[in-house]
Chains A and B, each alone.
Chain A
Amino acid sequence: MKEQLQSIKETAIAAISSCADLKELDALRVKFLGKKGELTAILKQMGGLSAEERPVIGQLANEVRACIENSIKDKSDELKSAETDLRLKSEYLDVTMPGKRFANGRRHPMNIVLDELKEIFRGMGYTVVDGPEVEETKYVFDMLNTFEGHPARDPQDTFYITDEVLLRTQTSSVQIRQMLKEKPPIAIISPGRVYRRDEVDGTHSPIFHQCEGLVIDKNITFADLKGTLEEFAKRLYGEGMNLKFRPHHFPYTEPSCEIDFQCFRCGGKGCPLCKGEGWIEILGAGVVHPQVLENCGIDPEEYSGFAFGIGIERITMLRYEIEDMRLLYENDMRFLKQF
């Protein structure tokens, strides 16, 4: 009986090790370990054994069963893993093929830039305010020291609805409304659409967008204007950005300036973007004229402030190197998809 068990064990192990698939392995399990299997058949003869032999043979039989079970398990693992390997191999994908996307749309490039400006100024403590585009001359001109006869008021340059109502030429009108509505301290930006009577060409449009800013508080100085715009420039273009403040004239600020940014493409060495100058004109700004404060019922002896304005088209075109302004308003999908 001992020999029989030994022989079953050997036969089984040999058969298992040469087995090639899981189905055959299962058949072997049935053959050797099943209810009608060879080992069971042997064990059924155990009754005929002596009391001394029985435990010895019993133990041996258990050992043989365990041994066969283990080798079946090992073989099964081996075959399964081989099968998995084979499947994975057959499932090879070209990972350089394009992904399947649910395509998002895109924001308009000007709004991408404007959102960034809003974020920067909100981070610096400014509130975004809005106002009408069809506006009264008093808010666009009169209260901003731009009197009758000033070239900006000429119907050659400005769209009128009536003598006293026009399409705003700047969003400063929003600032006037804000000063009339709220007491200082004020820190706002007024981004928006403005209108000037220019024919459409590569660099002009009768409709364009500005982001103007205004700060009114106690003891605000020209130095504060400089510091604020330098901080803005750094947040927009990075730490190393240098600014040049040039004297200029606006009727509603005194002193006034135009601000050149060091060319962000060449770093000031001169390139086609900055037309070889090394500097690019970006901002107009100044200390709010005391007359403007008075016009809005703010005492210029107590409060002072500064204002600034940026053309959104201009910085958008510079950023994406768009050479023709018309593209911004044509809305061709081939253009819109690029951002």
Chain B
Amino acid sequence: MDLSMKWLNDYVKADMPIKEFCDGMTMSGSKVETYSVQGADITNVVVGKCLAMEKHPDADSLWICKVDVGQAEPIQIVTSAQNMFVDAVIPVALHGATCYNHKDMSFMKIKKGNMRGVRSEGMMCSYEELNLTLADVPYSSNEGILILNNDPEFDKMTIGMDIHDALGFNDTTVEFEITNNRPDCLSVIGLAREASATFDLPFNYTEPTFTGVEGKATDYINVDVKNAALCSRYMAAIVKNVKIGPSPRWMVERLNASGVRAINNFVDITNFVMLEYGHPMHAFDLRYVDGGKIVVRNAEENEKITILDGTEVALSPEMLVIADEKKPIAVAGVMGGEFSGIMEDTKDVVFEAACFDGVSVRMTAKKINKRTDASSRFEKGIDPINAKAALMRALQLVEMLGCGEVVREYIDVDNANKTPAKLKHDAKWISDHLGIEIAESEQIAIFKKLGFGYEDGNVIVPNTRIDIERQCDLAEEVARIYGYNRIPSTVPKLSSNSKITPIQHFEKRIVDIMVSQGFYETMTFSFISPKSYEKLNFCENKKNSVVLTNPLGEDTSVMRTSMLPSMMGVVSTNVASRNLSARLFEIGRVFTPTDERLPVEEDVLGLCAYGADEDFYTIKGVIEEIFSDLVINAKFVPVTDNKTFHPGRCANIVNGDVVIGTVGELHPAVAEKYDVSCRVYAAELYMDKMFAAMGEERKYKPLPKYPAMSRDLSLLCDDEVTSDTIIDIIKANAKFLESVSIFDMYKGEQVPAGKKSLSYKMVLRKDGTMTDEEADSSVNRVLKALAEQNIVLRT
């Protein structure tokens, strides 16, 4: 909402410095975004009058003018303009003035100087040099100096007067950001109310009235409201014998400062009233109201209307229209039809001030894709009392402008509830709610300043204040006018206890381990492109996603079912940025559709790595480190049919029969689809499943008193035998076994084809001194068991 300060001052004398005004309004709830002073860039330009002129002795095209600028002596100005004459009143830029160069509209400063040897002490200005347009000064010729003698307000100008005052371009526009609970503040009067309460200044308002001429609107038109539910009040007045023409300066100024272009007096009046009262108005040309009938009804099936901006709109039966005998002439509350508007030769005008249902207007505007200033006001809620005030103001303006005869008896089809809301005032509740004692009398004073009534302990809420419904709303009114920053600050003693849940603690430990293992945390979007499932060769059930009905684009149209698409996106980005290696992790959410209303949401630890130092075992090692640290029991089971991964380098991570996650080297064909040519290792681990797989907390074991013995076994077995198989056999058969670990794996010339050699270190210890014989017998038991599985000692 752009507010003209001049206009505001018609209602409240807010003449404090503008900064103070803006700060005050912001702190009472009407947030000021910015303000701009009209023509602030034009300085030191005054009204001057040409007293005498003569040709330049050395240049035919130049004139030397003596100009009265209200100083003791006239000044001399040389000009090339050819439209000057003695007694011409013109804008004069004095020495030191700032204005614009009409050639390229660059900003310039005027200095005294010589023109072809003749002294020139200033410059006479065209409208362009004052940064005005022809619309601002329609009487001006396109070329030469702006001749003010033709200005409608010429009589009010004095020589030496500042040009801003002379032309009325001296307003300040304040831009407000009005919250959507306060549609009443989308009007000059609404903001004037606020300013009056904020600065404790009188609100100068009188009900608008008009005189009118004898007659009845019903002699001209007949109004029939068919759907009173969607149109609670419809007022119509007739203005006859209208004279269409330009609006007076003061009206044009106020419209301009509010960001609205003046068009003609009747259009301007409807806009002026909408800005001033916040109530949308419409004006019809009576000639085009067929049969003199205005019917407020629902549109018929397949009905169409061409609206003011020239587009043809298909209507549907839930939409409300204003129709005449034959056809719709306006989409109620949204926009008028193309022939309904005011034209140069319009003779009689119907003014409409109506209350249309907000929801209906919103649905209609949305459906026909035309959100207008009027429709957005109806959407937010309109006051039926204000409708009448607005119509009265429009009629008053017609008479003020002398642009038509108002037919005295207007039409008012009124089904609106105009009883104002009454709220029992509970001063103590308000004080308690805010945490500061504010006296009842002070609270009442605040309500009155805001234009509320007060009767027998009840607050009477003006109908424009649709936001006031309960005691807490009154508390807010008191608080904001009293001043938020005058309310003390207290810290409540919380009677609840802060808790950290085991899963939150678990997550924190995971993050710490990942960071300590050299992984960088990422943050990725949780919606992805469904195409990434194809790129990753996902199986069908992992493609089944929660789908957005209105995504921004295909790339962000489904909720991810896995962290892999996001992680591969990150890898791809980093490879493209020539980052040679990366270790990345994220605990992100994945979404699986269900038969219920809401999907299942699970947090997943995704990790990936690439670079010269990475291989399958480095990433597996990181997972083992997590498991070891958090006492998670899990096994790595080879998987050959997961098409996302390398068929020989992929494992499911399982605890009992629960799959906690998957780890592997990305299938090269998958990596290639992400433009990644290096090997990428990735894993996904479900947080809650990992959490569930956590074993008992560790207990301390006494430090050993006797030394251990170790035995190394170099074994030869078939290539298919997994290391875990061998370790399980060793564990099952070795006596005194403290630990067993693999330390070498060999495949190649030294062993037969299809075989491999694996070397293990067994550490044996007992509670007492162990003999070589004891150790050997333990190893022999193991070797015997291994031999049964065709795993033999390598010789």
Q: Is A318 an interface residue (CB 8 A)?
A: no
Encoded as 1 (CB less than 8 Å from any B CB) or 0, chain A from 206 to 243 comes to 11000000010101111110111011000000000000
Kindly identify which residue among A105, A219, A244 contacts B585, using a CB–CB cutoff of 8 Å: A105
Contacting pair B520 A333 (CB below 8 A)? yes
Q: Given A107-B511, A222-B434: A290 and B574 within 8 A (CB)?
A: no
Kindly identify which residue among A136, A287, A336 contacts B598, using a CB–CB cutoff of 8 Å: A136
Complexed CA–CA distance, A36 and B271 (Å): 129
Stretch touching chain B among A25-33, A86-94, A250-258, A264-272: A250-258
Contacting pair A221 B570 (CB below 8 A)? no
Chain B residue, CB-CB nearest to A155: B550
Least CB distance from A201 to B in Å reads 12
Q: In B545-561, which residues have CB < 8 Å from any A CB?
A: 546-552, 556, 559
Contacting pair A249 B179 (CB below 8 A)? yes
Contacting pair A185 B494 (CB below 8 A)? yes
Q: Given A134-B591, A247-B479, A291-B470: A111 and B521 within 8 A (CB)?
A: yes
Kindly identify which residue among B527, B550, B559 contacts A160, using a CB–CB cutoff of 8 Å: B550
Q: Is B490 an interface residue (CB 8 A)?
A: yes
Encoded as 1 (CB less than 8 Å from any B CB) or 0, chain A from 80 to 109 comes to 000000000000000000000011111110
Contacting pair B435 A105 (CB below 8 A)? no
Q: Count B-side interface residues using an 8 Å CB cutoff.
A: 83
Kindly identify which residue among A136, A249, A291 contacts B181, using a CB–CB cutoff of 8 Å: A249
Q: Is B523 an interface residue (CB 8 A)?
A: yes
Encoded as 1 (CB less than 8 Å from any B CB) or 0, chain A from 51 to 80 comes to 000000000000000000000000000000
Q: In B480-527, which residues have CB < 8 Å from any A CB?
A: 480, 484-485, 487-492, 494-500, 504, 511, 514-527
Q: Is A37 an interface residue (CB 8 A)?
A: no
Stretch touching chain B among A13-21, A38-46, A119-127: A119-127
Kindly identify which residue among B26, B480, B504, B523 contacts A331, using a CB–CB cutoff of 8 Å: B523
Stretch touching chain A among B200-208, B405-413, B531-539, B576-584: B576-584
Least CB distance from B572 to A in Å reads 11
Contacting pair A133 B601 (CB below 8 A)? yes
Q: Which residues of A contact B547 (CB under 8 A)?
A: 161
If over half of A's interface residues share one DSSP class (helix, strand or loop), that class is named, otherwise mixed; here it is mixed
Encoded as 1 (CB less than 8 Å from any B CB) or 0, chain A from 191 to 204 comes to 00100010100000
Chain A residue, CB-CB nearest to B550: A155
Contacting pair B491 A332 (CB below 8 A)? no
Least CB distance from B78 to A in Å reads 43
Contacting pair B359 A149 (CB below 8 A)? yes
Chain B residue, CB-CB nearest to A112: B521
Contacting pair B514 A185 (CB below 8 A)? no
Encoded as 1 (CB less than 8 Å from any A CB) or 0, chain B from 361 to 402 comes to 010000000000000000100000000000000000000000
**Most chain B C-beta atoms within 10 Å of own C-beta, residue among A103, A161, A164, A246:** A161
Chain A residue, CB-CB nearest to B603: A130
Contacting pair B597 A102 (CB below 8 A)? no
Q: Is A296 an interface residue (CB 8 A)?
A: no
Q: Given A167-B548, A249-B181: A134 and B598 within 8 A (CB)?
A: yes
Q: Given A125-B497, A222-B435: A160 and B549 within 8 A (CB)?
A: yes
Contacting pair A224 B490 (CB below 8 A)? yes
Complexed CA–CA distance, A193 and B590 (Å): 13
Complexed CA–CA distance, A264 and B437 (Å): 33
Contacting pair A245 B484 (CB below 8 A)? yes
Kindly identify which residue among A125, A136, A159 contacts B551, using a CB–CB cutoff of 8 Å: A159
Kindly identify which residue among A108, A159, A223, A256 contacts B548, using a CB–CB cutoff of 8 Å: A159
Stretch touching chain A among B27-35, B46-54, B718-726: B27-35
**Most chain A C-beta atoms within 10 Å of own C-beta, residue among B490, B525, B599:** B490
Complexed CA–CA distance, A206 and B433 (Å): 36
Contacting pair B579 A332 (CB below 8 A)? yes
Contacting pair A105 B498 (CB below 8 A)? no
Q: Is B358 an interface residue (CB 8 A)?
A: yes
Q: Count A-side interface residues using an 8 Å CB cutoff.
A: 79
Kindly identify which residue among A164, A330, A332, A336 contacts B597, using a CB–CB cutoff of 8 Å: A164
Least CB distance from B675 to A in Å reads 15
Q: Given A160-B548, A187-B496, A331-B574: A247 and B27 within 8 A (CB)?
A: yes
Chain A residue, CB-CB nearest to B469: A291
Kindly identify which residue among A103, A125, A160, A230 contacts B494, using a CB–CB cutoff of 8 Å: A125
Chain A residue, CB-CB nearest to B571: A331
Contacting pair B489 A329 (CB below 8 A)? no
Q: Given A167-B548, A185-B495: A255 and B480 within 8 A (CB)?
A: yes
Contacting pair B491 A224 (CB below 8 A)? yes
Q: Is A328 an interface residue (CB 8 A)?
A: yes
Contacting pair B524 A329 (CB below 8 A)? yes
Contacting pair A219 B494 (CB below 8 A)? no
Complexed CA–CA distance, A228 and B490 (Å): 7
Encoded as 1 (CB less than 8 Å from any A CB) or 0, chain B from 694 to 710 comes to 00000000000000000
Q: Is A165 an interface residue (CB 8 A)?
A: yes
Chain A residue, CB-CB nearest to B521: A108
Q: Is B285 an interface residue (CB 8 A)?
A: no
Instruction: Known A-B contacts: A127-B497, A328-B523, A333-B520. Give 19 more (CB < 8 A).
Output: A105-B517, A105-B521, A132-B601, A161-B549, A162-B549, A186-B496, A197-B552, A206-B556, A221-B432, A223-B435, A223-B490, A227-B488, A246-B484, A255-B476, A290-B470, A329-B525, A332-B579, A334-B579, A336-B522
26 contacts between A and B (CB under 8 A): A108-B522, A108-B523, A124-B494, A127-B497, A128-B504, A134-B601, A135-B598, A148-B359, A149-B359, A155-B549, A159-B548, A185-B494, A193-B589, A215-B494, A217-B495, A222-B433, A224-B435, A224-B491, A226-B489, A247-B476, A255-B480, A287-B472, A290-B472, A329-B523, A333-B582, A336-B584
Closest 4 interchain pairs by CB? A223-B435, A221-B435, A247-B29, A249-B179
Residues in chain B within 8 A of chain A (CB atoms): 26-29, 31, 179-182, 358-359, 362, 379, 432-436, 467, 470-473, 475-476, 479-480, 484-485, 487-492, 494-500, 504, 511, 514-527, 546-552, 556, 559, 570, 573-574, 577, 579, 582-586, 589, 591, 597-599, 601
